[in-house]
């Protein structure tokens, strides 16, 4: 069965704290009736800091959709290669071992996809399959894992690289002052992540069963309004309540596999916000601390969209000593639709290391390396 190896995650060097966010909101939206409520909601997110791809002074200005998208292309090309190299290293592979690249992002647009550029610039084979996913939002991380799983099952011995590039700050709209927009301004952060799913060999999460679920008639609850100024994020007040119908779906998935959703050893859950995590814990009848890695991502980086599940999983790898071979777990991402992407897997520990020379991965040109922090 396919194995999801340790992700690599990196966040930009520009930091904004919750205190900074509250100060900017008070200044930019002074006197507006919805401001006090928005400030309380931002304070309740638990997001202590976020990382931005540009200094806050530039982030707060809107240079136009064309310029925003140009920055997205420049920054994605600058920041992805280093993270990809680390993910390949984590998996014990090199670029030519990869058979498919899944690229997920909802914060910028390129055609051809960044996958074409990566193949040309980083030494991937020219017959590498390309699968860009652009419109699943925060659920795309889970969807990418599931599609990589499916590909490896359909093509045994294949290896799939997943890349998530979410530069959420490039979607900031200075003139948007509804409560949903003000809340999102204090919630979302920027990050780049990558992970490899190996068709055989490796260590990590053995992917066993996956599923998707769409909550009926909720497609307008999380959405983009595309205007001259770019992507305007729209969030319905009913979104936090979606964990009540999703929890039974997770439970049924586990039951089909012969597992108890409330008795797993690890939980990698999309950190859409504190209400999402608290409600899911309640409806799954588990202690909220089982989502500790998701809470840590939310606190330290904010909601980094499709990259959340990879950062939470990275944190799980870093305490791998708490898991034994065969430990059971779930990975779940939630996003527009309202869509849930879920996968069950068991832990495969790393084999004892042997000193063995391996071919070096193709190096990243120095001019492509971005200034990133938090790479793991």
The Cα–Cα gap between 126 and 313 comes to 30
- Using only the alpha carbons of the chain, give its radius of gyration: 20
Residues 6+ apart with CB under 8 A from 327: 265, 266, 346, 347
Q: With beta carbons less than 8 A apart as the criterion, state whether 143 and 212 touch.
A: yes
What residue has token string 């790479």?
375
Q: Which long-range contacts (CB under 8 A, 24 or more apart) does 128-134 make?
A: 128/98, 128/99, 128/100, 128/101, 129/99, 129/100, 129/101, 130/100, 130/101, 130/103, 131/100, 131/101, 131/102, 131/103, 132/102, 132/103, 132/104, 133/102, 133/103, 133/104, 134/104, 134/105, 134/106, 134/109
CA–CA–CA angle 20, 23, 29 (5° rounding): 135
C-alpha atoms less than 13 angstroms from C-alpha of 3 in its C-beta half-sphere:
17
CA distance 157 to 198: 7
Rounded Cα distance, 63 and 261, in Å: 47
Which residues carry out catalysis?
A: 138
């Amino acid at each position: 069965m396919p194995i999801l190896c340790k992700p690599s995650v990196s966040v930009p060097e520009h930091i904004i704290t919750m205190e900074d966010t509250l100060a900017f909101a008070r200044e930019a939206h002074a006197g507006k009736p919805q401001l006090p409520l928005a400030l309380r909601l931002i304070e309740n997110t638990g997001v202590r800091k976020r990382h931005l791809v540009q200094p806050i002074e530039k982030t707060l200005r809107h240079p136009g959709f064309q310029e925003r998208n140009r920055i997205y292309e420049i920054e994605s090309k600058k920041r992805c290669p280093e993270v990809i190299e680390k993910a390949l290293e984590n998996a014990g592979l090199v670029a030519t071992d990869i058979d498919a690249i899944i690229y997920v992002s909802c914060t910028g647009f390129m055609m051809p996809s960044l996958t074409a550029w990566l193949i040309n610039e980083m030494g991937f084979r020219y017959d590498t399959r390309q699968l860009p996913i652009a419109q699943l939002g925060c659920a795309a991380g889970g969807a990418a894992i599931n599609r990589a799983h499916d590909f490896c099952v359909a093509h045994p011995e294949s290896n799939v690289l997943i890349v998530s590039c979410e530069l959420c700050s490039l979607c900031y709209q200075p003139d948007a002052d509804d409560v949903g927009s003000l809340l999102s301004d204090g919630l979302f952060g920027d990050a780049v992540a990558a992970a490899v799913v190996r068709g055989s060999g490796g260590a990590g999460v053995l992917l066993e069963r996956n599923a998707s679920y769409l909550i009926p008639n909720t497609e307008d609850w999380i959405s983009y309004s595309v205007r001259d100024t770019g992507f305007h994020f729209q969030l319905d007040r009913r979104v936090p309540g979606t964990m009540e119908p999703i929890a039974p779906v997770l439970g049924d998935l586990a039951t089909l596999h012969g597992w108890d959703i409330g008795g797993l050893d690890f939980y990698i859950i999309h950190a859409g916000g504190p209400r999402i995590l608290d409600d899911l814990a309640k409806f799954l009848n588990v202690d909220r601390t089982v989502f500790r890695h998701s809470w840590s991502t939310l606190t330290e980086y904010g909601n980094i969209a499709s990259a959340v599940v990879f950062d939470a999983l990275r944190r799980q790898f870093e305490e791998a000593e708490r898991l034994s071979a065969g430990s059971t777990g779930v990975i779940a991402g939630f996003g527009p639709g309202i869509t849930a992407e879920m996968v069950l897997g068991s832990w495969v520990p790393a084999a004892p290391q042997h000193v063995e020379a391996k071919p070096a991965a193709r190096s990243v040109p120095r001019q492509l390396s971005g200034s990133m922090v938090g790479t793991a």
